[in-house]
Chain A
Amino acid sequence: MEIDASPLLDVRHLSTHFVTDEGVFRAVEDLSFQLRRGEFLGLVGESGCGKTTAMLSVLRLLPAAGRIVAGEVRLEGEDILALEAAEMRRVRWRKMSIIFQGAMNALNPVRSVGDQIAEALVLHEMAPTYHQAGKRVAELLELVGIDAARADQYPHQYSGGMRQRAMIAMALACNPQIVIADEPTTALDVMIQAQILELLERLQGELGLAVILVTHDLSVVAEVCHNVLVMYGGVLAEYATVDAIYNEPLHPYTRLLLEAFPDLSRPDARLVSIPGQPPRLNALPAGCRFAPRCPMVIDRCRVEAPPVRQVRPGRWATCHRIDEEGV
């Protein structure tokens, strides 16, 4: 797979905070990454590490309490954080779309699936009427492997895997260049999960899509992604190619995440868990956010937050303990 070198999406020093009665939650801090055309990026981390917030910030879909306090998001060179709301609405769906976590359960039960996809087409001016949207609906359904004759059926007549495919079809309705898939396979069986991953891979190849796969499951990422961004407590922990992440992980958190995984090729290895919990984002530790759980912690980690730095060509990490020779 060829990956175009010019970044399609360029996120620089993005910080998002939630201001609530219980204080300020620094959900995303100083996050930078790039996404190229046709790239499959994995965004990985435990629950509550800021993955979804980062993606909602990129799409400017944050809930009312959320504020982007710093940084910029450039889509094909244009800073979309500066756009008017109406302009932003045209960017969503046409340039970037998102498949939300558990979205397959968000289909309206009393309207046919085809009708709901047509609605997206009409609202985004891809078709003048529902009737004229029919042909495109059929195309989209066939694209994701659903018989177009089933467009008139209702969500309850679809299985879980088919509903998820229908959501993917909807996300593709306006020919976006970027699709963000937030835990698209969680709650699905392994066989259906494999079907959905295969579908995303195929679409990426056929349509030249760039995909951001948000997940807590590192093994899913290993199967399909080119690059991986590991987040911890709202900050970038490590960014590298998928091969480097799995075969030469540098950040202690990445290493622990990998060890926590059942590996069929090593059935006798006892699983290692990561003691403790991710930090509360309104009461962050003073130094490195991972310091309280880190097996390699030194005094410096507890007082000074490590900056994001390039530790190898094309690899970034946030850790004091990584130097030129390795860890």
Chain B
Amino acid sequence: MSAAPTAVDARRSLVPETVLEVEGLFKHFPLPRGLVGALLGRPGRVVHAVDGVSFTLGRGEILALVGESGCGKTTTALSLMGLLPASAGSIRFNGQDVTHLSGRPDGAARATVAALDGAAYRREPSVFPSLTLKRLRRQIQMIFQDPYESLNPRATVYEAVAEPLEVHGLEPDSESRLARVCRALEDSGLKPAQAFLGRLPHELSGGQRQRVVIAGALVLEPSLIIADEPVSMLDVSIRADILNLLDDLRTRRGISILYITHDLGTAACFTDRIAVMYLGRIVEIGPTRRVLADPQHPYTRALLSVVPVPNPRLRRKRLILSGETPNPIDLPSGCRFRPRCPVAVDRCAIVDPGLTLVGEGHQAACVLVEGDRPAAT
């Protein structure tokens, strides 16, 4: 906390305000055709997990990516991390194209990395033996859903949080490494850090484990954190703590956060913008308050109507969609939400609507909102 603001300020002046720019991202998984299919020369079938996703994320901004299981939220996140190679599209991080960074260093990657944090690279080039994806991952960290499974049961809190430093060859001096681990733990709300260093995961509560996981991400001082359902396994009384912590990280360290969830309720309370995903596409995106107050896409409306409201006097008619997200192999013609849409019209079977501007910074992909409005860029 003490030294962080100056570091953030310094970086702020050097880089553009947009941290992440995703443009037309596709991730398709071809299915095995089988012997008969191959012999008959049938066309291979493909899972369209992510099918043309574009969005930007500003410095210190929190964007929620909301949708049901199987809509492509997590695949999007894994592509951003470079854990899954994108099929098409581009991912720009701090202005640099990082779509095709590989594990092996080459000239272009070297240049990318040098630009990412040039000063540090010139100061101690030996720190970056493999100047590629690995260097990118210092900047983008991920927090997973289940803190019971994402921690090694035999590693102490210190070992768990120090491991990323070791992997990236940072702070080789044990004293400074300890100091950095302690700072990450305290920033994650585990105070005093000394009391937790020697503990094993089974000695921690669920909320404390998730804080250790967050400390493990923070210790590398990333500029973007991807949090994939970080509270869905936690008790309600602890959820608030973790969400408030993420909010604080944004405020204090200027970290951008991509918050992935199926729950609009938790997304409502601390995010700046919401992107609603359905079958591999973003169907609505806009400022959180606008999306909640005036949802334009019928899918967003349905999702909102089923978020439980903690007040029995406000019980209202739920707009329950039958079935679940259809499989992303055989996509319906026209609008992909049509088969479950309560307000679908004939035109929906023909037109595959793109995102249309419906308000300031607010876009929706539905033929019913298109009207005479110009298509969004």
Q: What is the predominant secondary structure among interface residues of chain B facing chain A?
A: helix
| B-chain residues with CB within 8 Å of residue A218 when the two chains form the complex | 236, 310
Q: How close is B3's CB to chain A, nearest CB, in angstroms?
A: 27
Q: How close is B229's CB to chain A, nearest CB, in angstroms?
A: 11
Q: Name which residue of chain B comes closest to A190, CB basis.
A: B306
Q: When each residue 156-172 of chain A gets 1 if its CB lies under 8 Å from chain B and 0 otherwise, what string results?
A: 00011100000000000
Choose one: B68, B292, B313, B322; the contact of A264 (CB below 8 Å).
B292
Chain A's interface size range is 35 or more
Q: Is the CB of A160 within 8 A of B69?
A: yes
Q: How far is A192 from B292 in the complex, measured between Cα atoms in Å?
A: 20
Choose one: B241, B263, B269, B308; the contact of A222 (CB below 8 Å).
B308
| B-chain residues with CB within 8 Å of residue A194 when the two chains form the complex | 306, 318, 320
Q: Is the CB of B308 within 8 A of A192?
A: no
Within 8 A of B (CB), among A255-272: 256-258, 260-265, 267, 269-272
| B-chain residues with CB within 8 Å of residue A246 when the two chains form the complex | 310-313
Q: Is the CB of A191 within 8 A of B265?
A: no
Q: Is the CB of B237 within 8 A of A271?
A: no
Is B188 part of the binding interface, using a Cβ–Cβ cutoff of 8 Å?
no
Q: How far is A214 from B227 in the complex, measured between Cα atoms in Å?
A: 28
Is A125 part of the binding interface, using a Cβ–Cβ cutoff of 8 Å?
no
Is B178 part of the binding interface, using a Cβ–Cβ cutoff of 8 Å?
no
Number of residue pairs A-B, CB distance < 8 angstroms? 122
Within 8 A of A (CB), among B18-76: 68-69
Within 8 A of A (CB), among B269-323: 269-270, 288-289, 292, 302-304, 306-315, 318, 320-322
Is A189 part of the binding interface, using a Cβ–Cβ cutoff of 8 Å?
yes
Q: Name which residue of chain A comes closest to B243, CB basis.
A: A271
Q: Is the CB of A190 within 8 A of B303?
A: yes
Q: Is the CB of A222 within 8 A of B320?
A: no
Q: How far is A223 from B206 in the complex, measured between Cα atoms in Å?
A: 27
Is A193 part of the binding interface, using a Cβ–Cβ cutoff of 8 Å?
yes
Is B114 part of the binding interface, using a Cβ–Cβ cutoff of 8 Å?
no
Q: How far is A194 from B315 in the complex, measured between Cα atoms in Å?
A: 13
Q: Is the CB of B264 within 8 A of A264?
A: yes
Q: How far is A260 from B314 in the complex, measured between Cα atoms in Å?
A: 18
Q: How close is A188's CB to chain B, nearest CB, in angstroms?
A: 9
A218-B310, A223-B308 known; A191-B320 Cβ under 8 A: yes
| B-chain residues with CB within 8 Å of residue A261 when the two chains form the complex | 236, 265, 310
Number of interface residues of B (CB under 8 A): 43
Q: Is the CB of B310 within 8 A of A267?
A: no
Q: Is the CB of A159 within 8 A of B324?
A: yes
Is A17 part of the binding interface, using a Cβ–Cβ cutoff of 8 Å?
no
Is B268 part of the binding interface, using a Cβ–Cβ cutoff of 8 Å?
yes
| B-chain residues with CB within 8 Å of residue A258 when the two chains form the complex | 310
Most A Cβ at <10 Å: residue of B244, B268, B288, B302: B268
| B-chain residues with CB within 8 Å of residue A262 when the two chains form the complex | 265-266, 268-269
| A-chain residues with CB within 8 Å of residue B206 when the two chains form the complex | 47
Is B338 part of the binding interface, using a Cβ–Cβ cutoff of 8 Å?
no
Within 8 A of B (CB), among A189-207: 189-195, 198
Q: Is the CB of B239 within 8 A of A260?
A: yes
Q: Name which residue of chain A comes closest to B66, CB basis.
A: A190
Q: How far is A255 from B312 in the complex, measured between Cα atoms in Å?
A: 15
| B-chain residues with CB within 8 Å of residue A198 when the two chains form the complex | 318, 320
Q: Is the CB of A195 within 8 A of B320?
A: yes
| B-chain residues with CB within 8 Å of residue A257 when the two chains form the complex | 236-237
| A-chain residues with CB within 8 Å of residue B311 when the two chains form the complex | 222, 246-247, 263, 265
A260-B237, A262-B269, A267-B268 known; A193-B306 Cβ under 8 A: yes
Q: Name which residue of chain A comes closest to B268, CB basis.
A: A267
A217-B236, A223-B315, A271-B240 known; A191-B308 Cβ under 8 A: no
Q: Is the CB of B310 within 8 A of A222?
A: yes
| B-chain residues with CB within 8 Å of residue A247 when the two chains form the complex | 311-313
| B-chain residues with CB within 8 Å of residue A265 when the two chains form the complex | 309, 311, 314
Is B235 part of the binding interface, using a Cβ–Cβ cutoff of 8 Å?
yes
Q: How far is A325 from B282 in the complex, measured between Cα atoms in Å?
A: 52
Q: How far is A317 from B100 in the complex, measured between Cα atoms in Å?
A: 61
| A-chain residues with CB within 8 Å of residue B243 when the two chains form the complex | 271
Q: Name which residue of chain B comes closest to A44, CB basis.
A: B236
| B-chain residues with CB within 8 Å of residue A269 when the two chains form the complex | 269
Q: How close is A200's CB to chain B, nearest CB, in angstroms?
A: 13
Q: How far is A97 from B243 in the complex, measured between Cα atoms in Å?
A: 37
Q: How close is A72's CB to chain B, nearest CB, in angstroms?
A: 31
Q: Is the CB of B312 within 8 A of A222?
A: yes
Q: How close is A319's CB to chain B, nearest CB, in angstroms?
A: 18
Q: How close is B68's CB to chain A, nearest CB, in angstroms?
A: 5
Q: Name which residue of chain B comes closest to A267, CB basis.
A: B268
Q: Is the CB of B237 within 8 A of A274?
A: yes
| A-chain residues with CB within 8 Å of residue B236 when the two chains form the complex | 46, 216-218, 257, 260-261
A191-B320, A257-B237 known; A242-B308 Cβ under 8 A: no
Q: How far is A46 from B207 in the complex, measured between Cα atoms in Å?
A: 12
Q: How close is B6's CB to chain A, nearest CB, in angstroms?
A: 27
Q: How close is B64's CB to chain A, nearest CB, in angstroms?
A: 12
Is B238 part of the binding interface, using a Cβ–Cβ cutoff of 8 Å?
yes
Q: Is the CB of A267 within 8 A of B308?
A: no
A190-B263, A191-B324 known; A256-B308 Cβ under 8 A: no
Known: A46-B237, A194-B306, A222-B308. 14 other contacts (CB 8 A): A160-B69, A187-B232, A190-B306, A191-B68, A191-B302, A198-B320, A218-B236, A219-B309, A257-B237, A261-B310, A262-B268, A270-B269, A271-B244, A273-B240
| Residue contacts A-B, CB under 8 angstroms, 20 given | A190-B262, A190-B307, A191-B68, A191-B321, A193-B306, A217-B308, A222-B309, A223-B309, A242-B312, A256-B237, A263-B309, A263-B311, A264-B264, A264-B292, A264-B307, A267-B268, A267-B289, A270-B269, A273-B237, A274-B237
Query: Which residues of A pack against B, CB within 8 Å?
Result: 46-47, 159-161, 187, 189-195, 198, 216-220, 222-223, 242-243, 246-247, 256-258, 260-265, 267, 269-274, 277
Query: Which residues of B pack against A, CB within 8 Å?
Result: 68-69, 205-206, 232, 235-241, 243-244, 262-266, 268-270, 288-289, 292, 302-304, 306-315, 318, 320-322, 324
